[in-house]
């Protein structure tokens, strides 16, 4: 949407309306999510609340900007303030870029983001946000089949909630033990070797889906995981309030189901959820020293200064296996002796599906039963990696 400059004095209300018009055009084009647009709307409301709707934009002073930052920081964590400051800067920059004002609004250091040191300290005060090996084993033993497969994909491949919820079944190759799935958030291509345990769990989900009729809602056909009511496990529902304010209702059945299992297993750590599996995968995988392979598995966007990523055409399968084997050894202990047999069978409907049978020689730490919850069997394992 082209935004033209008005000859009249530009007020704060005019500016935020123009900004939201441009943002809405991007949303309609599929370039901006409904959740992000709703966040922009609230950020614009804050600017109007602070300055007043009829305040001329060109009369905003450095002193006003300094007071604005203090206003945005009231009662919020540094991470939230970081986002608010970023949007405020974008709105002011939008005014100059779209030629709505003659000269840029200079905010200098008065509207700066929280210092990195402050951000790190805030995260540290929030407590542990990754899972220990014993906790993951406990969750695997206590989870229903679909959640078990999700947990294994989370720790094996570093998939987050939305990654798992949007995973197409045809991206998972159970026969050869690979997943080939661009990360939805960034579009970065990634491949990851699957553990025998992961293949077995995914095949069980596919087998159940082929044997039981499930109502599938439009737009979710082909997904690996679908709720009993036929919805994706994570979805966003855009709404508009009576006052015309857009907002989004988030439905995350993965988070709610895992929370119930964690409560039953007495794993109660504030702020720790499914995404903690992705953090564990990154943390333990990085111990191999092969960060290139870890980044590929995680789907990280390379830094603009990383020329190696520009020239690198692929990552060797052996390098990817080095990372996933290391994480598997951390989680289960010895990985020797595990054999998986894959066969193709026909479901009731006549379509082919995958059946997996596994003979396990994997020795989990904590006893011969394979259900131990003690320390990982990896020699020299520090207490923080249990």
Judgement on whether residues 110 and 194 belong to the same structural domain of the protein: no
Of 91, 125, 159, which one is at a domain's C-terminal end?
125
pLDDT value for 209: 72
Are 232 and 117 members of one domain?
Answer: no
CB 169 within 8 A of CB 224: yes
| CB 208, CB 145: distance < 8 Å | yes
Rg (CA), the chain: 25
| pLDDT 10s digits, 217-254 | 777 888 999 988 888 999 888 888 888 888 888 889 99
Q: Does the residue 84 lie in any domain?
A: yes
**Predicted confidence (pLDDT) per residue in 54-70, tens digit:** 999 999 998 999 999 99
Under 8 Å between Cβ of 14 and 59 = no
Contacts 24+ apart (CB under 8 A), 43-46: 43/84, 43/87, 43/88, 43/91, 44/16, 44/19, 44/20, 44/91, 45/245, 46/71, 46/72, 46/84
Q: Give pLDDT tens digits for 349-384.
A: 444 444 444 444 344 443 333 333 343 333 334 434
Q: What is the domain-level CATH number for residue 172? A: 1.10.443.10
Query: Which has the minimum average pLDDT: 80-84, 120-124, 127-131, 284-288?
Result: 120-124
Whether residue 3 lies inside any domain: the answer is no
Q: Are 332 and 375 in contact (CB under 8 A)?
A: no
Region at 290 (left for phi over 0; alpha for psi -120 to 50; beta for the rest)? beta
Boundary (domain end) residue, out of 125, 143, 176: 125
- The residue segments making up the domain with residue 148 are 133-376
Return the closest-CA partner of residue 46 out of 3, 85, 82, 11. Answer: 85
Asked whether residue 106 is assigned to any structural domain, the reply reads yes
**Which regions of 96-245 does DSSP assign to beta strands (E)?**
172-173, 178-180, 191-193, 234-240
Element (H, E) at 251: strand 246-252
pTM of the predicted protein model: 0.72
- What's the domain count of the chain? 2
DSSP string, 192-223: EEPPHHHHHHHHHHHHHHHHS-----TT-TTB
Could you give the count of Cα atoms lying within 13 Å of 100 in the half-sphere of its Cβ? 26
């Amino acid at each position: 949407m082209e935004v033209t400059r008005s000859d009249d004095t530009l007020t704060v209300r005019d500016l935020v309306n123009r900004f939201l018009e441009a943002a809405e055009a991007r949303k309609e084009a599929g370039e901006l999510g409904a959740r992000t647009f709703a966040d922009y709307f609230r950020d614009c409301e804050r600017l109007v609340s602070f300055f007043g709707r009829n305040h001329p934009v060109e009369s905003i002073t450095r002193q006003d900007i300094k007071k604005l930052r203090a206003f945005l920081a009231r009662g919020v964590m540094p991470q939230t303030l970081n986002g608010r400051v970023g949007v405020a800067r974008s709105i002011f920059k939008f005014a100059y870029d779209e030629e709505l004002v003659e000269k840029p609004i200079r905010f200098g250091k008065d509207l700066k983001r929280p210092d990195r040191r402050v951000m790190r300290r805030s995260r540290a005060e929030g407590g542990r946000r990754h899972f220990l090996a014993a906790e993951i084993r406990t969750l695997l033993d206590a989870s229903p089949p679909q959640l078990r497969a999700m947990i294994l994909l989370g720790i094996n491949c570093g998939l987050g909630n939305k990654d798992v919820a949007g995973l197409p079944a045809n991206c998972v190759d159970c026969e050869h033990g690979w997943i080939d799935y661009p990360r939805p958030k960034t579009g970065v291509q990634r491949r990851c070797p699957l553990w025998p345990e992961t293949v077995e769990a995914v095949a069980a989900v596919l087998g159940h889906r082929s044997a039981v009729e499930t109502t599938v809602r439009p737009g979710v056909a082909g997904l690996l995981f679908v709720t009993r009511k036929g919805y994706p496990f994570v979805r966003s529902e855009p709404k508009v309030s009576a006052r015309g304010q857009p907002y989004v209702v988030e439905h995350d059945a993965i988070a709610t189901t895992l929370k119930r299992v964690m409560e039953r297993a007495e794993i109660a750590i504030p702020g720790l959820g499914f995404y903690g599996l992705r953090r564990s995968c990154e943390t333990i995988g990085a111990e191999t020293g092969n960060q290139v392979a870890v980044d590929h598995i995680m789907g990280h966007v390379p830094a603009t200064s990383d020329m190696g990523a520009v020239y690198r055409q692929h990552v060797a399968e052996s390098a990817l296996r080095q990372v996933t084997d290391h994480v598997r050894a951390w989680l289960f202990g010895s990985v020797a002796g595990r054999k998986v047999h894959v066969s193709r069978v026909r479901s009731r409907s006549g379509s082919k599906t995958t059946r997996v049978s596994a003979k396990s020689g994997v020795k989990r730490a904590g006893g011969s039963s394979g259900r131990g919850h003690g320390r990982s069997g990896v020699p020299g394992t520090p207490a923080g990696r249990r």
